[in-house]
């Protein structure tokens, strides 16, 4: 009894660490890589933790146009992402919850967070936030098919509709006819990852001009604790969607804790890659973004077609 | 049980008494339907109708449609008492109540009858009373036009349904409907189904036979729009399910075909909803989308029946029925809400509204669940039925019609994404921000009689989203009627197959609310003490309502993909240009763009027969005589020749 209990508890602790404590580190890492690439020393890696601690102590300011809907965005996003993080496998560690059809819940939870964020942006009545909201919904409507085609292809390949078997089926790399589609899926999801997390080349979180933003402009009016929730939610989204990309690439190791370490290494590597991409590319013009997203849709659609015939 | 068969008394009396009576009738019928669904013995009533045996029977399939009908009708009657007071304009209020009762009665009869002729009679009463309801405000020309277009369309559909019912009678050996045993395939089956799909698709508003729907549903009073969208469209789905349940089998290609048709309608409906400025038209287009989704479920079920796959059958039909209920709940909520908006602001143009969440806080609160449900977001009910359909589509990818289900999968994903855009726009432009015109500036919440029905429906969207586990065995009972001798016979009900997954799903949705509550509790202490500042508009300190994003600008990013949205802009080219104006016109790409010109050409061709229509009675009598003479001659000649 106790022999089964200890690994389960450790697994739970690991999961709590990854979901609750780790996320703010990832944006810090990306910023650090970008700073190094540009020859600067940059802010500390733990900067986001300091920011969150500061925001938690600050008073929030609410514009006179806003209503209770204004809080639905931060609250809903974080709640949806926390539930989504229960479903996703972290590397090849034991899953916490898995059932047939959880992948649909996963995708729609991301949708719920986005929907509420858009509503709270429109609640301010600001022209800029409306603009950001319109862009966000248009682009994510294109990103969603890319995500789903990948799921459909994996569902057909693994015969399961649950995230855990889909992402942990390492045998796909060795089965010759499956490795090609898997690469295409990961390419498509890579684009989804950049778009959904508002990274360059789709969106630039650090730009100083509101007109060129997508996601950041939607949260201009949030402050204090609501803003802290938004920042934490954004970093959690990096981890949750990052796991989609990292999991299929990780090798299966003999020990549970080694698998956990492998996952942490994978996420760190992903942060480094994102930092390198951001340092070497420029943000696309707004009208080029849909083309980039359609490329993602086509990649995973092609993977799906390959598995269909 | 007899109460279920008692037609609703058309409330002719004045005032509260008729409202009470109507609501009571609906409550009785609702309870009877619920009793039948919860495993009560199917009760029936046999009698003779037009020299043939006729039967009214309340089986699980009938009850599955009676349930939403009487939920929406009962709440609609209560809502209508204040929404359209009988004293408002003499005549209108009375005819509205009369035909509302008639419509509900006709649909009740339609759902319980097991006789082809009676079905057609009920269908016709329903169609005509709906015509009068749409035509309530007949002093406005656009309402008259909408209701006439509706009347013509519904009768064209009735033609196909009549043909289908006659063929079915030929096949069954009478108008009495009892299922044929499996294995008794006939050559007529395909034709019966094709005609049924044609006729019922007109009613359900499937592409390309949807064009009557947006105008009719936008023109009707809001509680009528609610019952038209939430229930009457689904009589088409009911017809498809009932007719196909009588036949021994369905060809596999029809399942795939119906799936594709549903997928196309879903995408087309939501695509158009995205562009609309009139919020009631937006809701009507969203009904086309949802009927498309339901049709996808029926198509999956047909595929499952054709392939003998009980798993696919149960998921397809179960998902379709579940979505019928869910759509009835959230769409009637949204239409009731649109009525409250119309009442408070007097305009159907969302570009003139804004900031109503501060002015109508209760309406805004009860409509948010409806908006989230129609966008199929967890933890509300719309998500659960789409979850069923996704599982059905994935199952079909593996063991069914892979190509059509792959296409439908894409359509469902895209529909979900676009519905979120359309309804973020709906809620954001109407309720959030600041008022864009005088119309919305002095709006206020409606009376309690209008708010309570909306509150009940809003509670249902969340309640079903969290606690719908007991619905699985109910869905099993309905599927057993729709696909006789397939799902239950092999011991594969939904309750055991998806029970565990479904429980987990509901658990996680509950957890979502818990997390949300925790996050909200953490935010609480940060209440603001100083006076509220204006919204940060990048340093601009005097933002006006006209600077906000409007519904049109919100959909602007999609306009290149929207062939229905035609835009005329006069170019502005000068250093100091003078005042210019442009305007946009939204049209239905298929209805106004393709079908209307074609119909005009056909009408012009048919006009040459106009010379036969002289207007003199004597000439018409001559036509009758000539025809009679011709028939006599033909009979005579035939008798001679055969001799």
ipTM of this predicted structure: 0.93
Q: What angle separates helix B279-307 from helix B310-345, to the nearest 10 degrees?
A: 170
Indicate the pLDDT class of residue A268, thresholds 50, 70 and 90: very high
Closest to A144 in 3D by CA, of B377, B580, B610, B430? B377
Which of A75, A144, A161 lies closest to B519 in CB terms? A75
Check A61 against B520: CB less than 8 A apart. no
Query: By the CB < 8 Å criterion, does A55 face chain B?
Result: no
Structure tokens at A242: 């990052």
Query: By the CB < 8 Å criterion, does A168 face chain B?
Result: no
Helix (H) or strand (E) run with residue B47 in it? strand B43-49
Check A225 against B523: CB less than 8 A apart. yes
What was the pLDDT predicted at A33? 94
- Number of domains into which chain B is organized: 1
Q: Which residue has the higher pLDDT, B526 or B37?
A: B37
Check A148 against B409: CB less than 8 A apart. yes
Please state which of the ranges A52-61, A198-207, A236-245 shows the lowest mean pLDDT: A198-207
Q: What percent of chain B is predicted at pLDDT more than 70? A: 91
A73, A86, A102, A134: which to substitute to probe chain B, counting the most B Cβ within 10 Å? A134
What was the pLDDT predicted at A215? 83
Q: Which residue has the tokens 């733990």?
A: A46
Q: What is the arithmetic mean of pLDDT over B515-524?
A: 91
Is residue B489 in some structural domain?
Answer: yes
Check A130 against B553: CB less than 8 A apart. yes
Indicate the pLDDT class of residue B536, thresholds 50, 70 and 90: confident
Check A108 against B383: CB less than 8 A apart. yes
**Plot region of A59 (φ>0 → left; ψ -120 to 50 → alpha; else → beta):** beta
Closest to B391 in 3D by CA, of B403, B375, B408? B408
CB-CB contact of B286 with B422 (8 Å): yes
Least Cα separation, residue B569 to chain A (angstroms): 21
Check B364 against A134: CB less than 8 A apart. no
Residue of A nearest to B361 (CA): A67
Which of A112, A134, A155 lies closest to B549 in CB terms? A134
Q: Which residues of B touch A131 (CB under 8 A)?
A: 549
Least Cα separation, residue B561 to chain A (angstroms): 11
Domain that holds residue B428: 265-518
Please state which of the ranges A123-127, B118-122, B240-244 shows the lowest mean pLDDT: A123-127
Q: Could you state, in order of their start, the residue ranges of all structural domains in chain A?
A: 2-308
Residue of A nearest to B396 (CA): A156
What was the pLDDT predicted at B243? 93
Is residue B545 in some structural domain?
Answer: no
Closest to B109 in 3D by CA, of B51, B175, B54? B54
CB-CB contact of B273 with B285 (8 Å): yes
Residue of A nearest to B380 (CA): A112
Please state which of the ranges A98-107, A288-297, B578-587 shows the lowest mean pLDDT: B578-587
Give CA separation, A177 vs A49, B109, B311, B403, in Å.
45, 57, 29, 20
Q: What is the arithmetic mean of pLDDT over B550-562?
A: 70
Check A125 against B523: CB less than 8 A apart. no
pLDDT in tens, B571-593: 666 777 777 776 677 778 788 87
Can you tell me whether residue A196 is helix, strand or coil?
Answer: helix
pLDDT in tens, B446-464: 988 899 999 999 999 999 9
**Cα distance between residue B142 and residue A224, in whole Å:** 51
Size of interface A-B (CB pairs under 8 A): 228
CB proximity list for B432: less than 8 A, separation 6 or greater:
A67, A69, A119, A122, A123, A125, B354, B355, B357
Q: Which residues of B touch A163 (CB under 8 A)?
A: none
Give CA separation, B521 vs A80, A82, A172, B89, B113, in Å.
16, 16, 45, 50, 54
Q: Which residue has the tokens 């809001």?
A: B222
Which of B418, B427, B523 lies closest to A75 in CB terms? B523
Residue of B nearest to A122 (CA): B428
Q: Is the pLDDT of residue B488 over 80?
A: no
CB-CB contact of A309 with A67 (8 Å): no
Is residue B391 in some structural domain?
Answer: yes
Q: Which residues of B touch A80 (CB under 8 A)?
A: 512
Q: Is the pLDDT of residue B529 over 80?
A: no
Query: By the CB < 8 Å criterion, does A240 face chain B?
Result: no
Check B533 against A64: CB less than 8 A apart. yes
Closest to A103 in 3D by CA, of B78, B283, B505, B162? B505
What was the pLDDT predicted at B188? 86
In angstroms and rounded to an integer, the radius of gyration of the C-alpha atoms of chain B is 26
What was the pLDDT predicted at B1? 40
Q: Which residues of B touch A74 (CB under 8 A)?
A: 519, 523
What was the pLDDT predicted at A221? 87
pTM over cut 0.90: yes
Query: By the CB < 8 Å criterion, does A149 face chain B?
Result: yes
A113, A126, A149: which to substitute to probe chain B, counting the most B Cβ within 10 Å? A126
Is residue B643 in some structural domain?
Answer: no
Give CA separation, A1 vs A10, A12, A257, in Å.
15, 17, 20
Check B390 against A104: CB less than 8 A apart. yes
What was the pLDDT predicted at B54? 86
**Cα distance between residue B386 and residue B391, in whole Å:** 9
Please state, rounded to an integer, the average pLDDT across all residues of chain B: 86
Q: Is the pLDDT of residue A23 over 70?
A: yes
Q: Is the pLDDT of residue B9 over 60?
A: no
The CB density around residue A287, as the number of other CB atoms within 10 Å, is: 9
Q: Is the pLDDT of residue A53 over 60?
A: yes
Q: Which residues of A touch B558 (CB under 8 A)?
A: 138
Q: Is the pLDDT of residue B526 over 70?
A: no
Q: What is the arithmetic mean of pLDDT over B477-499?
A: 73
Phi then psi for residue B54, to 5 deg, are -130, 155
**Cα distance between residue A158 and residue A126, in whole Å:** 47
Q: Is the omega angle on the peptide bond into residue B213 within 30 degrees of 0, that is, cis?
A: no
Q: Is the pLDDT of residue B46 over 90?
A: no
Can you tell me whether residue A54 is helix, strand or coil?
Answer: helix
Is residue B453 in some structural domain?
Answer: yes
pLDDT in tens, B226-274: 999 999 999 999 999 999 999 888 888 999 999 999 999 999 999 889 8
Is residue B251 in some structural domain?
Answer: no
Q: Which residues of B touch A304 (CB under 8 A)?
A: 406
Please state, rounded to an integer, the average pLDDT across all residues of chain A: 89
Phi then psi for residue B563, to 5 deg, are -70, -15
Residue of A nearest to B368 (CA): A69
B387, B535, B553: which to substitute to probe chain A, counting the most A Cβ within 10 Å? B535
**Cα distance between residue B136 and residue B129, in whole Å:** 11
Check A152 against B406: CB less than 8 A apart. yes
What was the pLDDT predicted at B560? 54
What was the pLDDT predicted at B3? 44
What was the pLDDT predicted at B562? 56
Check B535 against A75: CB less than 8 A apart. no
């Amino acid at each position: 009894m106790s022999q089964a209990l200890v690994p389960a508890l450790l697994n739970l602790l690991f999961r709590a660490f990854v979901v609750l404590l780790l996320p703010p580190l990832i944006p810090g890492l990306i910023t650090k890589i970008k700073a190094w690439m540009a020859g600067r020393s940059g802010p500390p890696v733990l900067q986001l933790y300091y920011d969150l601690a500061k925001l938690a102590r600050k008073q929030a300011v609410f514009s006179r146009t806003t209503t209770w809907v204004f809080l639905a965005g931060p609250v809903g996003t974080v709640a949806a992402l926390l539930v989504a993080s229960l479903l996703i496998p972290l590397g090849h560690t034991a899953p916490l919850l898995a059932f047939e059809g959880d992948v649909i819940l996963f995708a729609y939870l991301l949708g719920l967070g986005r929907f509420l964020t858009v509503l709270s942006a429109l609640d301010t009545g600001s022209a800029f936030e409306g603009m950001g909201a319109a862009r966000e919904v248009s682009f994510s409507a294109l990103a969603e098919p890319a995500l789903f085609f990948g799921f459909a292809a994996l569902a057909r390949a693994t015969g399961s509709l649950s995230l855990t078997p889909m992402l942990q089926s390492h045998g796909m790399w060795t089965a010759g006819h499956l490795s090609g589609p898997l690469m295409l899926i990961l390419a498509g999801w890579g684009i989804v990852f950049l778009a959904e997390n508002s990274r360059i080349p789709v969106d630039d979180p650090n730009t100083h001009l509101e007109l060129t933003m997508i996601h950041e402009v939607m949260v201009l009016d949030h402050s204090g604790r609501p803003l802290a929730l938004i920042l934490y939610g954004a970093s959690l989204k990096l981890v949750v969607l990052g796991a989609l990309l990292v999991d299929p690439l990780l090798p299966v190791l003999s020990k549970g804790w080694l698998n956990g370490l492998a996952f942490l290494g994978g996420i760190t590597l992903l942060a480094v890659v994102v930092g390198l991409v951001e340092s070497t590319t420029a943000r696309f013009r707004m009208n080029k973004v849909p083309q980039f997203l359609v490329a993602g849709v086509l990649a995973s659609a092609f993977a799906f077609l390959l598995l269909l015939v | 049980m007899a109460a279920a068969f008692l037609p609703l008394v058309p409330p002719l009396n004045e005032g509260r008494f008729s409202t009470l009576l109507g609501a009571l009738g609906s409550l009785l019928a609702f309870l009877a339907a619920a009793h039948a669904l919860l495993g009560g013995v199917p009760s029936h009533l046999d009698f003779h109708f037009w020299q043939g045996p006729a039967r009214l029977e309340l089986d699980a399939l009938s009850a599955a449609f009676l349930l939403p009908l009487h939920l929406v009708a009962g709440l609609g009657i209560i809502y209508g008492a204040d929404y359209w007071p009988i004293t408002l304009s003499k005549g209108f209020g009375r005819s509205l109540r009369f035909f509302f009762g008639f419509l509900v009665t006709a649909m009740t009869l339609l759902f319980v009858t097991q006789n082809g002729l009676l079905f057609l009679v009920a269908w016709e009463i329903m169609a005509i009373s709906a015509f009068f309801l749409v035509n309530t405000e007949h002093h406005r020309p656009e309402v008259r036009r909408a209701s006439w277009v509706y009347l013509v369309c519904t009768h064209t559909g009735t033609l196909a349904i009549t043909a289908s019912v006659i063929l079915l009678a030929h096949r069954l050996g009478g108008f009495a409907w009892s299922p044929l045993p499996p294995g008794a395939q006939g050559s007529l089956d395909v034709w019966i189904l094709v005609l049924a799909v044609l006729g019922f698709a007109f009613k359900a508003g499937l592409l390309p036979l949807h064009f009557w729907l947006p105008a009719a549903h936008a023109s009707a009073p809001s509680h009528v729009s609610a019952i038209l969208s939430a229930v009457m469209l689904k009589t088409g789905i009911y017809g498809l399910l009932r007719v196909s349940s009588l036949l021994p089998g369905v060809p596999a290609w029809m399942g795939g075909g119906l799936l594709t048709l549903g997928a196309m309608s879903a995408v087309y409906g939501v695509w158009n909803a995205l562009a609309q400025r009139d919020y009631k038209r937006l809701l009507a287009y969203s009904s086309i989308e949802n009927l498309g989704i339901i049709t996808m479920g029926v198509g999956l079920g047909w595929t499952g029946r054709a392939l003998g796959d009980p798993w696919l059958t149960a998921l397809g039909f179960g998902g379709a029925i579940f979505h019928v209920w869910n759509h009835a709940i959230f769409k009637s909520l949204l239409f009731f809400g649109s009525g409250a908006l119309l009442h408070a602001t007097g305009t159907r143009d969302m570009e003139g509204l804004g900031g109503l969440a501060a002015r109508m806080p209760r309406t805004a609160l009860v409509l948010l669940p409806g908006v989230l449900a129609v966008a199929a977001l967890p933890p509300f009910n719309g998500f659960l039925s789409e979850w069923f359909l996704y599982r059905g589509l994935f199952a079909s990818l593996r063991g069914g019609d892979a190509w059509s289900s792959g296409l439908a999968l894409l359509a469902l994903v895209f529909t979900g994404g676009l519905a979120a855009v359309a309804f973020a726009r709906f809620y954001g432009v109407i309720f959030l921000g600041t008022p864009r015109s005088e119309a919305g500036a002095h709006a206020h919440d409606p009376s309690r009689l209008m708010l309570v029905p909306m509150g009940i429906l809003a509670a249902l969207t969340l309640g079903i989203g969290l606690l719908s586990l007991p619905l699985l065995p109910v869905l099993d009972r309905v599927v057993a009627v729709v696909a006789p001798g397939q799902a239950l016979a092999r011991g594969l009900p939904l309750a055991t197959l998806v029970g565990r997954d479904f429980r987990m799903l509901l658990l996680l949705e509950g957890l979502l609310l818990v997390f949300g509550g925790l996050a909200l509790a953490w935010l609480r202490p940060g209440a603001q003490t100083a006076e509220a500042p204006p919204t940060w508009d990048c340093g601009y300190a005097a933002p006006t309502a006209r600077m906000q994003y409007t519904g049109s600008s919100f959909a602007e990013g999609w306009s290149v993909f929207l062939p229905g949205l035609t835009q005329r802009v006069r170019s502005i080219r000068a250093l100091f240009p003078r005042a210019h104006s442009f305007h946009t016109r939204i049209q239905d790409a298929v209805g106004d763009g393709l079908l209307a010109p074609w119909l005009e050409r056909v009408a012009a061709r048919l006009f040459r027969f106009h010379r036969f229509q002289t207007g003199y009675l004597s000439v018409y009598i001559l036509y009758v005589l000539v025809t009679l003479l011709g028939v006599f001659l033909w009979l005579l000649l035939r008798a001679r020749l055969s001799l």
